[in-house]
Amino acid sequence: MSEHLGFIGVGRMGGPMAGRLLDAGHRLTVFDTNRGATAPLIGRGAVATGSVREVATAVETVIMSLPTPDIVRDVALGENGIASGTRVKTVIDLSTTGPRMTQCIAGGLKVKGIALIDSPVSGGVSGAQKGTLAVMAACERALFERFEPVLKVFGKVFYIGARPGMGQTMKLANNLLSATAMAISSEAIVMGVKAGLDPQVMVDVINSGSGRNTATQDKFPRSVLPRTFDYGFATGLMYKDVKLCLEEAEALGVQMWVGAAVRQIWQFANAELGPASDFTAIVQCIEEWAGVEVKARA
């Protein structure tokens, strides 16, 4: 069934997801602080507004795809935010904010009679484009069933639980593993290159053995070996996700010895490479220390 949906944040992830909603026959009212980001969607029939509040006054369901917890909170609860809209009844948050921030936002929206579906996604820009994301939804079961068809447009949908924040916990656990795979694979492959091994052969062997992981299977072949560093996820966002995960573990009283080391190296990469750098460029930090370069041989 076609829905009239609002979509706030149509950048690298949100843009492709919004495009898939149009492909599925939904009508969209969109907003982004970068007006240029809305242009491709407007060209396909979406309607752009001048503020978040206008979106929340035009539709009953608003979707958010935003980069940081503070931005999500401001968009949801700030002056002229979603909560100030006159028509909105449901907010679907695809962002990664951490469970405690999500619970705070859910509480603020509930006061206004607005329900929150905590639904972070994983799979990167390519997954957003192809509709193959992992979608982790947490809300009351009836609300989930109502909006599951919309979420399925983005990829494979998992019902995580009834409480907002549960989806965030699942996402943070996933991204800690992804961040760890990228960091430790960088260290292992740089070590091999320093010893004279061919990095392409290393990746092929690892992917045929027990060491294979998401970094060696996808990130290294696509963005590291060809030296493009264009996977599409920012170092600053990866550091943010790891930091959120460790903060949540500490709040729960769960000790993460390995996680603490992973947070430290991503903190360094964020400072050294800059938050806007592609997260696959973390290998350059290890290369610099070792004095070698991980590059496919001609």
> Residue 188: enclosing H or E segment and its boundaries?
helix 166-194
- Who contacts 124 (Cβ-Cβ below 8 Å, separation ≥6)? 231, 232, 233
Catalytic residue among 89, 112, 130, 171: 171
HEC per residue, 228-246: CCCCCCEHHHHHHHHHHHH
CB 182, CB 282: distance < 8 Å: yes
What is each CA distance from 82 to 12, 15, 62, 88, 252, in whole angstroms? 22, 19, 8, 8, 30
Q: Which amino acid is at 202?
A: M
Query: Would you give the distance in Å from CA 217 to the centre of its chain?
Result: 19
Q: Is the alpha carbon torsion for 279, 209, 156, 41 positive or negative?
A: positive
Look at residue 116 and give its three-state secondary structure.
strand
Quote the CA–CA distance of 138 and 106 in Å, as a whole number: 11
Q: Give helix 235-252 / helix 166-194 axis angle, nearest 10°.
A: 120
Q: Is 112 a catalytic residue?
A: no
Q: Is the alpha carbon torsion for 95, 99, 101, 105 positive or negative?
A: positive
Residue position matching structure tokens 């700030």: 78
Quote the CA–CA distance of 242 and 81 in Å, as a whole number: 28
Quote the CA–CA distance of 211 and 192 in Å, as a whole number: 14
List the catalytic residues: 171
